[in-house]
A = this chain, B = another copy of it.
Amino acid sequence: MRGNVIVGQSGGPTSVINSSLVGVYQNAINRGAGTVYGMLHGIKGLLDGQYVDLSEHIKNDLDIDLLKRTPSSFLGSCRYKLPEICDDKEVYEKIFKILNDLNIEAFFYIGGNDSMDTIKKLSDYAILVNSTIKFMGVPKTIDNDLAITDHTPGYGSAAKYIASVTKEIIRDGLVYDYPTISIIEIMGRNAGWLTAAAALAKGEDCEGVDLIYLPEVAFDIDKFMVKVKELSAKKSSIVIAISEGIKVADGRYVFELADHVEFTDAFGHKQLSGSAKFLANKLGAELGVKTRAIELSTLQRCAAHLTSRVDITEAFQVGGAAVKAAFEGETGKVIVLDRVSDDPYICTTSSHNVHKIANIEKKVPLEWIIDDGTNVSEDLIHYIRPLIQAELSPVMVNGLPRHLRVDLKDSL
């Protein structure tokens, strides 16, 4: 007879992270697991004894389908890094006591490269103490910056949202009878995968964006101004996509070039936004044209009303594959997506040693960034296109997308 399993979510939310949760839950149940626990707020919540029996919250098939369409981490999230095992054994002893008390056979963690560090350390510790608990990572991040895997669940839906609204913004900019420049600011601190998705807007019915700037290439503000001036002599409506993380050659973020911008939050952290605003103001002042800055902001990771069916399906699959692998004895692994074929698009899963994935950030290859850092190549578009295909219709109730309600704190 199988033991129990526990699953947690960590790091930034995505539109499809709960599809992976459902993948773990359903597969664990189907493969004979006892109780499927959910840790609240990831490993940090677990350390505080915060966990629930998921079957009390996912009660029927409708709940399953609503949960797949519910954005943001159903179980809550955390950004918590475990100490090195050699520095602090106590926290590990505490976690393993909780897991053993709950008769946990397998532990699943849905997250990005920081979260995979948790799987690495816990599986390492399990070897040290001869524990038989299996630890498996389930990939998730809109940033698509995870190593080894072809792409990450969460990215396809974010890319689809970005490309769709970019089309709409381009269309909106075309209506005026005077010149306008729109700058769209897209998430991505160090990797430009999300910003690159703006390139997908271009097609038979859309002229596309005019310039794209990713953080992989140093941003040269003088060249930028010249480029936009040239463009503005040729066309009336200009749309530019920039990554929030673009930096000038000396390492400063572009928004830090402003004279008086408040760029730290209450904790003194740099807030990565404002570069579009800064550039829009500068262009407006120097070119004397109407400019606007549009931050796509939080919706990039929570617009579950517009997700990719391919993405939702793959998010579910990596959850299920993690359960299968753990129940077959694997541990210290991450499920990755392997693209078998581009056309037709076919993708399978495999498991990979977590040591090769945790804490590593995969950037956009420089050969996919063209035109002196102002555009992306057809190869990059070709890479992204299959990931945004098809839809999973939201369940609309009384005019609005229906979600599975989270009331987990009440159940503690």
Q: What is the oligomeric copy number?
A: 2
Whether B398 and A177, one on each chain, are in contact in the complex, defined by CB atoms closer than 8 angstroms, is no
Interface hub of A78, A168, A289 (most chain B Cβ within 10 A): A168
Contacts of A302 in B (CB 8 A): 168-169, 171-172
A363 to chain B, nearest CB (A): 24
Report if A206-B306 is in contact (Cβ < 8 Å); known contacts: A71-B168, A174-B76, A267-B290.
Answer: no
The answer for the CA separation of A176 and B78 in the assembled complex, in Å, is 6
Given known contacts A177-B41, A262-B281, A266-B289, is B390 in contact with A164 (CB within 8 Å)? no
**A344 located at the interface, meaning its Cβ lies under 8 Å from any Cβ of chain B in the complex:** no
Q: In the complex, which of the residues B176, B291, B295, B406 contacts A76, with contact meaning CB atoms closer than 8 Å? A: B176
A77 within 8 A of B: yes
- Tell me which of A81-89, A101-109, A196-204, A335-343 binds B: A196-204
A175, B72: Cβ atoms under 8 Å? yes
Task: Report B-chain residues with C-beta under 8 Å of the C-beta of A206.
Answer: 403, 405
Cβ-based interface call for A45 (8 A): yes
| CA distance in complex: A288, B265 (Å) | 9
Q: Give the docked Cα–Cα distance between A205 and B292 (Å).
A: 35
Q: Are A174 and B72 in contact (CB under 8 A)?
A: yes
Cβ–Cβ < 8 Å partners of A299 in chain B? 165, 168-169, 294
> Taking the nearest CB of chain B, how far is it from the CB of A19, in angstroms?
15
Which of A177, A295, A393, A403 counts the most chain B CB atoms within 10 A?
A: A177
> Once the chains bind, are A171 and B41 in contact (CB under 8 Å)?
no
Residues in B with CB closer than 8 Å to A71 are: 168, 171-172
CB-CB under 8 A from A404, the residues of chain B are 205
Q: A44-B177, A306-B305 are in contact. Are A294 and B292 (CB under 8 A)?
A: no
Docked complex Cα distance between A179 and B285 (Å): 38
- The answer to whether A357 has its CB under 8 Å from any CB of chain B is no
Interface string of A255-280 (1 = CB under 8 A from B): 00000101001110000000000000
Q: Does A34 contact B (CB under 8 A)?
A: no
Report the minimum CB–CB distance from A289 to chain B (whole Å).
Answer: 6
Q: Which 3 A-B pairs have the closest CB atoms?
A: A388-B399, A266-B284, A41-B177
12 pairs of residues in contact across A and B, judged by CB atoms under 8 Å: A72-B174, A78-B176, A160-B399, A167-B403, A203-B397, A203-B398, A203-B400, A262-B281, A266-B287, A266-B288, A295-B297, A388-B399
A71-B172, A205-B403, A295-B297 given. 11 additional CB < 8 A pairs? Answer: A77-B175, A77-B176, A167-B403, A169-B302, A171-B403, A182-B298, A205-B405, A265-B291, A266-B289, A292-B297, A390-B399
